[in-house]
């Protein structure tokens, strides 16, 4: 694991531990995984590039309920793609920080349905070099949760979402379009 990933994981664990001390029913902490369908479609094996591997989108988030139908929060998302090119290992990592707003439109018993929107920043880095000769770049990112459903048991819940992450910068720099179309998460509410 890269040193920056270790630091981020430690910070998220500390954040979760601190939040448990804020015993109210307004807090939600989640971790999850989402697909990399965009990356899988764009980065495919060729004669020069082989042995692709994908982490998927690994994410952690926090939400604070302002009203029963409205919550705000933030999410950290990480994804990695690696491959072999001309006998060399190549990879890129995407780190995202995304402030979010969520609208809950159905809540009955253990089931909650919601939609959401987030706008943040994506940092793309690794040993892959882009057409401008950079191996690190930043771009704005849009997160859309078109449909989310969670099922709870006491303070624990599981969630499934349909949506997407999109990150563009300029006319030739496409980092993601429609990535993380499907995701699952587990979490707890305080």
Summarised one tens digit per residue, pLDDT across range 144-169 is 999 999 999 999 999 999 999 988 77
Residues 6+ apart with CB under 8 A from 43: 49, 52, 81, 83
Task: Return d(Cα 96, Cα 89) in angstroms, integer.
Answer: 23
Q: Where are the domains of the chain?
A: 3-189
pLDDT confidence of residue 173: 65
pLDDT confidence of residue 87: 79
Q: Report how far apart, in Å, the C-alpha atoms of 124 and of each of 9, 17, 82, 168 are.
A: 18, 29, 13, 11
Cross-strand partners of 159: 150, 185
Other C-beta atoms closer than 10 Å to the C-beta of 101 total 15
| pLDDT tens series, the chain, 190 aa | 556 656 665 655 555 555 444 444 699 999 999 998 877 777 666 666 778 888 999 999 999 999 999 999 999 999 998 888 887 888 889 999 999 999 999 999 999 999 999 999 999 888 877 777 778 888 899 999 999 999 999 999 999 999 999 887 765 566 677 789 999 999 999 9
Domain boundaries 3-189, CATH class: mainly beta
């Amino acid at each position: 694991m890269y040193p920056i990933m270790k630091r981020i994981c430690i910070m998220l664990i500390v954040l979760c531990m601190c939040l448990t001390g804020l015993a109210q029913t307004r807090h939600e902490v989640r971790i999850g995984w989402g697909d990399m369908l965009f990356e899988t479609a764009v980065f495919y094996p060729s004669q020069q590039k082989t042995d692709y591997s994908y982490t998927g989108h690994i994410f952690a988030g926090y939400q604070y309920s302002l009203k029963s139908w409205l919550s705000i929060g933030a999410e950290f998302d990480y994804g990695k793609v690696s491959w072999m090119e001309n006998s060399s290992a190549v990879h890129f990592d995407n780190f995202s920080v995304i402030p979010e707003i969520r609208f809950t439109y159905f809540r009955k018993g253990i089931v909650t349905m919601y939609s959401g929107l987030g706008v943040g920043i994506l940092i793309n880095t690794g040993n892959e070099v882009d057409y401008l000769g950079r191996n690190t770049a930043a771009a704005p990112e849009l997160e859309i949760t078109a449909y989310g459903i969670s099922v709870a048991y006491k303070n624990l819940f599981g969630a499934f979402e349909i949506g997407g992450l999109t990150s563009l910068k300029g006319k030739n720099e496409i980092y993601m379009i429609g990535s993380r179309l499907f995701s699952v998460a587990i979490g707890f509410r305080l």
